[in-house]
Structure 1
């Protein structure tokens, strides 16, 4: 059987180009979201608005003093998070604070876009521990 070294090189070259093209689109840790649809954003990850050039990054859990489930507390506690909003190169940090087991959405308007935080997870439970990397925020953009 004859060897086709030039053909093999050509195929490898084309595969390299295809692979490079696939890797250039989004950075690791980014997810594409659609306006008006709920999404889950893990701590340290970035959401890109599909039709708007907006980036949201869940940057930090500033505080989580919520009373764990199945316990009795004097104070219900709160969770405070920071989300970086970047649009057209300008970045602003937005803080959201949710008390205890509050279920009402938290809303902030930034540059005409309504950012709604629906929940911050996981919710503390008595006897269970979790790492910062376990945090995520359920939200939507309108």
Structure 2
């Protein structure tokens, strides 16, 4: 005995076989490649020539204040024992970084700047003061720190100069 399909199923299969199939969507065109690498992290914030005031500098980088003939290099992070986000600590810890300053015609001088209030965060060199405002990234519990990703936010002023001293009419 042969079994036959019910007539409604035969019609349904025939309709499906003759239905137009959707055309596949072509893949999107490839994104254009940038002509220069994109800058990320501190590299995007650091400029080789800066003015007096606040600026960012990446580890291993050097900036120059040309009108002052002054050069600043972020040499290394000597210590980063700051209390990590997500950790419980009994003290604040400290980030100590080594910077090198040099005026044109003079030998470079190395200094250490610190993030903890009990250690010096400001140095004085040839009539200038350089202050560590912030060191990024802030450590996170159970996340290893990539030492090449450090970015220091520093402020450079002439010793004794305050922003209000530059007000018009004084």
TM-score (norm 2): 0.59
Q: Which secondary structure does the structure 1 equivalent of 2:148 belong to?
A: helix
Match of 1:127 among 137, 142, 153: 142
Any residues of structure 2 matched to 1:1-142 within 5 Å, and which? 31-36=48-53, 38-88=54-104, 89-99=106-116, 106-142=121-157
Name the larger-Rg structure: 2
Post-superposition shift, 1:62? 0.6
The alignment of Structure 1 onto Structure 2 pairs a total of residues equal to 109
Give me the whole-angstrom Cα distance separating, in 1, the residues matched to 2:114 and 2:155.
Answer: 16
Higher relative contact order (CA 8 A, sep 6+): 1
Q: 1:106 deviation in Å?
A: 2.5
Query: Would you tell me which structure has more strand in proportion to its own residues?
Result: 1
Q: TM-score, normalised by structure 1?
A: 0.70
Q: Deviations over 1:31-72 (max 9, x none)?
A: 100012x11100000010131111100001111111101211
Moved over 6 A (4+): none
For the residues of structure 2 that align with 1:90 and 1:96, how far apart are their CA atoms? Answer: 19
Please tell me the root mean square deviation across aligned C-alpha atoms, in Å.
Answer: 1.9
- The unaligned stretches of length 5 or more in structure 1 are 1-28
